[in-house]
Amino acid sequence: MTDPSLPVSPSSRASTDQIVSRVLSEIQKKYDLDLSSDPAAMQRIREAAEKAFLELGVSSEAVINLPYISANRAGPIHYRRRFQREEFGLAPGSAQGRSFSDDPGPGEAAPRRIRVQFPERSPVVTISLMVIMGILYLLQMLTSYLFQQDLPAALGMKINQAILDGQYWRLVTPMFLHGSLLHIGFNVYALYILGRPVERYFGHLRYLGLFLLSGITGNLFSFLFTSSPSLGSSTAIFGLLAAEGVFIYQNRELFGERFSTALRQIIQVALINFLIGLSPGIDNWGHLGGLVGGIIFAWFGGPNIKLQGSPPDLKLTDTRPESRSWLVFIGQLILLAALAGWAITVRG
């Protein structure tokens, strides 16, 4: 998901593309690896190139630093490069000034677009969740080795009969547990990729509420519609994917022509993962529940961004206060508790 954009002259896009091309070429030369077909890597490269171009408009140099951008047989791929303004024939201020003007000068083409960045936020919640999952998985492996039993999974995974017997925490704890090294590796990677942008746009506490509600809803759907035991954070991760789609849709005027492409990509990723979930041993009901939980919370409690001011003094304002988000969180949690109570009573 990219930042929203504003009009800018065509030369800025050309310069951004030049930086992207330079990065790809140097990575190809150094690592013998073509990243042009890697969507995740290309998004990071383009975002870094656009930021570097803006910096070159007001400074003589800009640094692009992309650690762990990809990997090949030799190991992880890193890229760090200091670009000079003169490399691209840019004059001071070329990324600003007239680029923001609505009226092109003599001989200039119609203006293009330039990003307006959201406030930067460190992904502290995403990293904390990854650490918690990692610690718990180490405990799972340790207890399996010492006691020949995975105690955290035995005590916390979703088991329908245990929930009917009163162990209601099993509707929460499965989102922090995993069944294998491949399982946690895939989910932690997905959390890292999806979680950082969603946390950036939603804010730390609202993002945490989204994660928890999505995971609980996914575990409840699994309890309602399948008797198989299950565990894993993919319930909550599907909620993050859904929330990203809702955010793009509700704030589509900010993304311009990128809106339809970004939303289509999210839908494709969701469908592909649901198809993968048809394989034996994968709880697609939990995925569907996480998706539903994420949609509900993001639709009613997610950020609603408006662009205020005029170029170059523009700012993004969230017109949906976080206090409303917490009301949505509490209301959705009460609804889930009521649904779980009804299901337990009927089955009990």
Q: How many H helices and E strands in the chain?
A: 12, 6
Q: Nearest-CA neighbor of 114 among 3, 256, 6?
A: 6
Q: Nearest-CA neighbor of 298 among 210, 215, 205?
A: 210
Question: How far apart are the C-alpha atoms of 240 and 110, rounded to whole Å?
Answer: 37
Token readout for 289 is 């529940």
Q: From the candidates 234, 279, 310, 325, which is the catalytic residue?
A: 234
Question: How far apart are the C-alpha atoms of 111 and 340, rounded to whole Å?
Answer: 55
Catalytic status, residue 101 = no
The letter for the amino acid at 29 is K
Provide the CB-side half-sphere exposure for 300 (13 A, CA).
13
Q: From the candidates 230, 233, 287, 325, which is the catalytic residue?
A: 287
- Rounded alpha-carbon distances, angstroms, from residue 269 to 18, 25, 107, 184, 242: 29, 28, 43, 19, 10
Question: How far apart are the C-alpha atoms of 251 and 63, rounded to whole Å?
Answer: 30
Catalytic status, residue 234 = yes
Are the C-beta atoms of 112 and 9 separated by less than 8 Å? yes
94-111 CB burial, b ≥16 within 10 A, e <16? bbbeebbeeeeeeeeeeb
Question: How far apart are the C-alpha atoms of 265 and 43, rounded to whole Å?
Answer: 13
135 in helix, strand or coil?
helix
Question: Kind of pairing, strands 112-115 and 75-84?
Answer: unpaired
Are the C-beta atoms of 203 and 124 separated by less than 8 Å? no
Residues written for the chain: 348
The letter for the amino acid at 63 is V
Instruction: Supply the residues annotated as catalytic.
Output: 234, 287
